Structure 1
Amino acid sequence: MNNLKHFSKLKRFQQLLLITLLGDIPTIFGGVKLRNLLYRTIFCHIGSSVYIQDGVEFISADSIEIGNGVYIFKGVRIDGKGHENNRIHLENGVILERNVLIGALNNTCIHIGQNTFIGPSVCIGGPGDIKIGQNCLIAAQTAIYANNHNFADSTEAIKYQGITCKGIVIEDDCWLGSGVKVLDGVTIGRGCVIGAGAVVTKDIPPFSIAVGVPARVIKSRDGKEITKSTQLSLSSSD
């Protein structure tokens, strides 16, 4: 047991040292090539042709998998700490724009599918599992949080009442507009469009357009308006 703890501390120190030494080397001084080469020794996996700009922070790099052709821009923070089974997986062609925050906590898997674009200042956080599909567009300042705080006991501080976490699924080919909030337990079906500023509290059927607070389906992507009977059907199935 002592040997395992010593090895774990040594591994964390190695990660911290490399990320501290290499993380802020500018692109013009070969920073991208150095990071692409030497980060392989501390990450779970890094593919080929990965672009990691200077000023990117990684925590618990051994829980992070990065596919081929991934772009990660300045100010991104990817945090895999909290549990040895945490996994953050960026598939081939994922783009993380500036100041994206991704955090796993307590046996969490966060998976972002191939060729998905994550816009500036998006926040994605566990501890519930989060799966974002392929070819998605997630616009700036969107928040995807797979947990809820318990608050039923008014005599105790909310932060001591624990949390619930069901997980979030965003299927392939979805477009989430700027400032969308996706709450725990939600599945957004394939091909959906979620309007800017919407708060998604319930499942959205595939190929739907949803807007508002809370988000409501207003039409399908074939252009058909949602009738009252269809709305009632969707509400009763939630």
Structure 2
Amino acid sequence: MRTLIEKIICRLKNKPDYKFENNYSFRELYVIILSRGIQVIRGGYKKLFFRASNGLVFIGTRVVIDHIYQFAAGSNLIIEDNVYINALSLDGILIKNNVSIARNCTLICTGVISQKGKGITIGNNSGINAGTYMGGQGGIEIGDNVIIGPGVKIFSENHNFSNLSVNIKDQGVTRNRVYIGNNCWVGAGVTILAGVTIGEGCVIAAGSIVTKTIAPHSVVAGVPGRILKKRSETIEPEVPDFKTKLRVV
């Protein structure tokens, strides 16, 4: 059974060298197949209402997609339990091939009905981990092969607040697109603010708050996030010199 499942996944993901790294019991494989089978049935119904869909869709329980007619998906989309998506926007939501959206994620394109948002695009082979929030009012674009860790928050809209004589909620908003390049890893609990571009191949450390554009292949950490080094740079660990530091007593 394991070999059969590997072949099916190879075909679905178009990865001829796909292999399980660990052994699974027959019971574990059976549960996995049963769960995915039920998700395919749900997905088959939901995709009837998508703007477009090119392949299988796996959908968990209690998944809500408002304005589903503005939602488009490639092949092998996985949406886990308790995900809320609101696709109302100028461009809608486009999810490309082999994307997974883990449980308890929220994707919203329009907050206030009077101000329709821009939309969200997620590239091929990207994974959105549990509890992520994406506010696509000003537009969010995520590239291919991107890892989004759990609890990440991405904002593309800010409230204006400069006028002291007007309530902040009545001063309107400023919208700026967020772009995350290909092959990035955004760690758990990261916050990305409006107008930020994260270049290709960046690593953003857990808990960072990214407030400005990041050059490609950078390693970023901190509040606010700062570039620690480039990925091509290696930092050798300091090795104590015991010959000079140890003394005979």
TM-score, normalization: structure 2? 0.75
Paired amino acid for 1:193 = V
Give the counterpart of 2:126 among 83, 105, 116. Answer: 116
Give the counterpart of 2:82 among 66, 75, 80. Answer: 75
Shift of 1:138: 0.6
Paired residues, what number? 197
- Whether contact under 8 Å (2:117, 2:136) holds in the other structure is no
Paired amino acid for 1:117 = G
Q: Does 1:87 align with 2:92?
A: yes
- Whether contact under 8 Å (2:44, 2:57) holds in the other structure is no
1:128-157 Cα offsets, whole Å, 9 max, x none, are 011000000110111000011000112221
- Whether contact under 8 Å (2:51, 2:72) holds in the other structure is yes
Determine the structure 2 residue equivalent to 1:179: 189
Aligned partners of 1:107 and 1:165: how far apart in 2?
9
Shift of 1:46: 2.4
Aligned partners of 1:202 and 1:38: how far apart in 2?
41
The equivalences for 1:1-238 within 5 A come to 31-81=38-88, 83=89, 85-105=90-110, 106-223=116-233
Aligned partners of 1:38 and 1:51: how far apart in 2?
10
CA 1:205–1:30 in structure 2 vs 1: closer, same or farther (change >3 Å)? closer
Shift of 1:28: 6.2
Aligned partners of 2:118 and 2:36: how far apart in 1?
36
Unaligned runs of 5+ residues in structure 2 are 1-33, 111-115, 236-249
Determine the structure 2 residue equivalent to 1:15: none
Superposition CA RMSD, Å: 1.7
Q: Secondary structure at the match of 2:125?
A: coil
Aligned partners of 1:72 and 1:40: how far apart in 2?
12
- Whether contact under 8 Å (2:44, 2:56) holds in the other structure is no
- Whether contact under 8 Å (1:150, 1:162) holds in the other structure is yes
CA 1:28–1:207 in structure 2 vs 1: closer, same or farther (change >3 Å)? closer
Larger CA Rg, structure 1 vs 2: 2
Determine the structure 2 residue equivalent to 1:13: none
Unaligned runs of 5+ residues in structure 1 are 1-26, 226-238
1:152-189 Cα offsets, whole Å, 9 max, x none, are 11222111110001110000000011110100011000
Shift of 1:60: 0.1
CA 1:163–1:130 in structure 2 vs 1: closer, same or farther (change >3 Å)? same
TM-score, normalization: structure 1? 0.78
- Whether contact under 8 Å (2:87, 2:119) holds in the other structure is no
Determine the structure 1 residue equivalent to 2:23: none
Shift of 1:31: 4.5
Percent of residue pairs bearing the same amino acid type:
35
Paired amino acid for 2:158 = N
Q: Secondary structure at the match of 1:135?
A: coil
